């Protein structure tokens, strides 16, 4: 085989690998959106918004810090656990008092 044939075969192999990776990525995107893969046919996903990101100096640091904290999955999970434990505590406290309703005779 000549060097040209070897280069062609390597290029074709790279192309097939890229096509396989594209198909796998489309399947992951469709799965994340809860759609069949065919629903992504003729869909163009634009990433143009990435070229127009605001400068970090335009956003106050407290806003950045708050957004970073509130969008972390571990923090969100901890907040959910805290909310659930607070609700359970309120139920326990309510269970310590009798549920008495007084009203006019009847």
Burial class of residue 26 in the structure, from the number of CB atoms within 10 Å of its CB (0-12 exposed, 13-18 middle, 19+ buried):
middle
Domain ranges of the chain: 1-45, 47-96
pLDDT of residue 1: 74
What is the number of residues in the chain?
106
Q: What are the distances in angstroms from CA 32 to CA 25, 66, 70?
A: 10, 26, 21
What region does 93 belong to: left with phi over 0, alpha with psi -120 to 50, or beta?
alpha
pLDDT of residue 106: 55
What is the value of pTM for the model shown?
A: 0.43
CA distance 74 to 86: 18
pLDDT of residue 60: 84
CB 60 within 8 A of CB 50: no
In tens digits, the chain (106 residues) has pLDDT values of 799 999 999 999 999 999 999 999 999 999 999 999 999 998 888 888 888 877 777 778 888 888 888 888 898 899 999 999 999 999 999 888 887 888 887 5
Q: What are the distances in angstroms from CA 50 to CA 37, 43, 101?
A: 25, 19, 61
pLDDT of residue 45: 84
């Amino acid at each position: 085989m000549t060097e040209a044939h070897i280069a062609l075969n390597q290029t074709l192999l790279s192309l097939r690998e890229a096509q396989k990776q594209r198909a796998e990525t489309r399947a992951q995107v469709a799965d994340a959106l809860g759609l069949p893969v065919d629903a992504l046919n003729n869909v163009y996903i634009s990433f143009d918004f990435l070229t127009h990101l605001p400068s970090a100096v335009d956003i106050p640091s407290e806003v950045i810090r708050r957004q970073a904290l509130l969008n972390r999955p571990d923090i969100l999970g901890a907040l959910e656990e805290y909310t659930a434990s607070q609700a359970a505590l309120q139920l326990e406290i309510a269970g310590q008092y009798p549920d008495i309703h007084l009203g006019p005779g009847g």
